[in-house]
Amino acid sequence: MAISAIGGFQRAHRAYTGPGGPPPLVNWLDTGEEAVSILREYLRIDTTNPPGGEEAGCIHLRDILAREGIDSELHDAGNGRVSISARLAANDGASASAKPIVLLSHVDVVPVEPEHWRCDPFSGDLEDGVIWGRGSLDMKGMGVMELITLILAKRHGVRLRRDLVFLAVADEEEGGHHGIHHIARTAPGLFDASFVLNEGAYGFSEFMGRQTKIFGLGPSEKSPCWLRLRISGAPGHGSVPHSKNALAKLVVALARIDAAEHRVHVTPPVEAMLRTLASKGFVPEELDPTDEATVQMLGSVDAHLHALTHDTVSLTSIRSGGKLNVIPASAEATLDCRILPDTDSDAFVAHLNEIADQPELEIERVLSHDSGGSSMDTPVVAAVNAVVAERYGEEAFVMPVLSPGFTDSHAYRHAGAEAYGFIPVLLTREELSTIHGHNERISIDNLQLGCEILFEVVRRLAAQG
Ligand SMILES: [Zn+2]
């Protein structure tokens, strides 16, 4: 157990003020141990998607909630694809305008390549203050922080002027058909919310080669526009080439699409991110985030920043033919396109079609949604900033981020809620690289830190009508 972190909690505990009065006397040492044990057991439940099998994970969460006297509901989409919700009702003069806060997470995890792991990815091993396992960061760890927040609110009778909803869903990693979209169809009441906290932004303990403490807060994310391209031609004998070779045409189309340059575009969250970094000395203070040439130059040396300032296309598969001496009659390929939150997907697809310049090309959308965006001027943003400032003073800061990946938050943004990525842990570059990779893990310090900060942010939000 990390004594230094616990000392930090006690100091921080005394420091917190803000709406809702002084915080309850939480024993963060015990709470941390509780979170560790809940997470280890959660990680031992294999919810790899596909096939998912989230039911066992949800039952684990349901049993813990039941022990605390909190009712929950399972949402069964069939074949073991289960999500779980629980609600703490407002207990202090809720008004109709004060809609719930939703703590959102997903139960499923991405597949593993166990041969590259130092331990069994589903062991929940605890060693040297670190908990190992697929999902520890993405995102069972955050799910446990949210669960602990709900439990502490119940145990300590925290003043709630709005309902507090816990929602852990299936199938996020494969697009949410059996998870968030199933909930939208069968339990739309869960979408009646003001604020949502979810994945979509981590924090950094090092950034651009410097030790630091940066808490990421994500008001938006790039939108997926996954495409399947198909061309039909004419079959033939390989010994007699002709001009209707589908594979040849597709390859030309793909080469044109891959070579195309997309415009640089700085969206408001990225502008806010760059301004924050400039004010903290991570990029030159004179940097003008609205100057596209400068941003283009920065993006050319940093693939991550390039992705955040452009619509992007990755060619991911091609399928055609089967025999060396037969000209195939058709060919298809898939493209993983990620577009900026304010790019129109119809216009983007039309633009790709124009670039490909092949009249026979058909483009099918496999997955496409608009991620939407939330305001950076809301009580959520104020609470996160205040809690980080009160806990750390000048030692840490909050940075707006745009996530290059997408999350289930888009479903809530479409329903009118302000949804944010906010996983309050401070990760090294190496730890960040384990998400969807090998040896995913979370330190006990980070798990405890996340529980404490999330609880304090939610407590303040809940106290405001
Ligand atoms: Zn995730």
Q: pLDDT for 324-370, tens place per residue?
A: 999 999 999 999 999 999 999 999 999 999 999 999 999 999 999 99
Same domain for 229 and 193: no
Amino acid 9: pLDDT: 43
Amino acid 1: pLDDT: 34
Distance separating alpha carbons of residues 451 and 376, to the nearest angstrom: 23
Given a cut of 50, whether residue 151 has pLDDT beyond it is yes
CA of 106 to the centre of ligand 1 (A): 7
CA of 195 to the centre of ligand 1 (A): 19
Share of the chain above pLDDT 90, in %: 86
Same domain for 243 and 111: no
Lowest mean pLDDT among 144-158, 194-208, 293-307: 293-307
Same domain for 141 and 244: no
Same domain for 68 and 144: yes
Task: Show the domain range for 230.
Answer: 223-262+311-368
Same domain for 273 and 255: no
CA of 138 to the centre of ligand 1 (A): 5
Q: What is the mean pLDDT of residues 19-31?
A: 85
Given a cut of 60, whether residue 84 has pLDDT beyond it is yes
Query: What is the token pair recorded at 356?
Result: 């490909």
Same domain for 408 and 390: yes
Residues, CB-to-ion distance under 5 Å, ligand 1: 138-139, 199
Lowest mean pLDDT among 93-102, 191-200, 207-216: 93-102
Name the residue type at position 122: F
Q: How far is CA 277 from CA 150, 281, 446, in A?
A: 33, 6, 23
CA of 256 to the centre of ligand 1 (A): 33
Given a cut of 70, whether residue 121 has pLDDT beyond it is yes
Q: What is the mean pLDDT of residues 277-300?
A: 85
CA of 17 to the centre of ligand 1 (A): 32
CA of 28 to the centre of ligand 1 (A): 26
Same domain for 158 and 23: yes
CA of 297 to the centre of ligand 1 (A): 30
Domain termination residue (choose one: 277, 304, 331) = 304
CB atoms under 10 Å from CB of 17, counted, come to 12
Query: What is the token pair recorded at 275?
Result: 């301004």
Domain termination residue (choose one: 368, 387, 409) = 368
The residues with which 230 forms a beta bridge, in sequence order, are 332, 362
Check which CATH number belongs to the domain holding 80 and give it. 3.40.630.10
Share of the chain above pLDDT 70, in %: 95
Q: pLDDT for 63-76, tens place per residue?
A: 999 999 999 999 99
- Asked if 175 contacts 398 with a C-beta cutoff of 8 angstroms, the reply is no
Q: Does residue 139 have a cis peptide bond before it, meaning omega lies within 30 degrees of 0?
A: yes
CA of 436 to the centre of ligand 1 (A): 9
Instruction: Give helix 140-155 / helix 444-463 axis angle, nearest 10°.
Output: 50
CA of 2 to the centre of ligand 1 (A): 27
Amino acid 233: pLDDT: 96
CA of 209 to the centre of ligand 1 (A): 26
- Asked if 246 contacts 232 with a C-beta cutoff of 8 angstroms, the reply is yes
- In Å, how far from its chain's centre is CA 400? 14
User: What's the first-to-final CA gap in the chain, in angstroms?
Assistant: 38
Same domain for 418 and 274: no
CA of 403 to the centre of ligand 1 (A): 11
CA of 398 to the centre of ligand 1 (A): 21
CA of 192 to the centre of ligand 1 (A): 22
Given a cut of 60, whether residue 431 has pLDDT beyond it is yes
- Asked if 212 contacts 206 with a C-beta cutoff of 8 angstroms, the reply is yes
CA of 134 to the centre of ligand 1 (A): 11
CA of 431 to the centre of ligand 1 (A): 15
Instruction: Tell me how many domains the chain contains.
Output: 3
CA of 104 to the centre of ligand 1 (A): 11
Amino acid 422: pLDDT: 98
Length of the chain measured in residues: 465
Given a cut of 50, whether residue 6 has pLDDT beyond it is no
CB atoms under 10 Å from CB of 240, counted, come to 7
Distance separating alpha carbons of residues 121 and 437, to the nearest angstrom: 11
Contacts of 97 (CB under 8 A, 6+ apart): 465
Same domain for 216 and 232: no
- Asked if 465 contacts 94 with a C-beta cutoff of 8 angstroms, the reply is yes
CA of 293 to the centre of ligand 1 (A): 33
CA of 103 to the centre of ligand 1 (A): 14
Same domain for 202 and 74: yes
Name the residue type at position 259: A
φ, ψ (nearest 5 deg) of residue 269: -65, -35
Query: What is the token pair recorded at 274?
Result: 């760059």
Given a cut of 70, whether residue 219 has pLDDT beyond it is yes
Same domain for 10 and 152: yes
CA of 352 to the centre of ligand 1 (A): 29
CA of 407 to the centre of ligand 1 (A): 7
CA of 175 to the centre of ligand 1 (A): 11
* Mean of the per-residue pLDDT values of the chain: 93
Q: What is the mean pLDDT of residues 203-216?
A: 95
Given a cut of 80, whether residue 5 has pLDDT beyond it is no
CA of 434 to the centre of ligand 1 (A): 12
pTM of the model: 0.92
Same domain for 191 and 177: yes
Domain termination residue (choose one: 330, 351, 368) = 368
Burial pattern 36-62, b for ≥16 Cβ within 10 A else e, equals bebbbebbebebbbeebbbbebbebbb
CA of 26 to the centre of ligand 1 (A): 29
Lowest mean pLDDT among 203-212, 276-285, 342-351: 276-285
CA of 168 to the centre of ligand 1 (A): 11
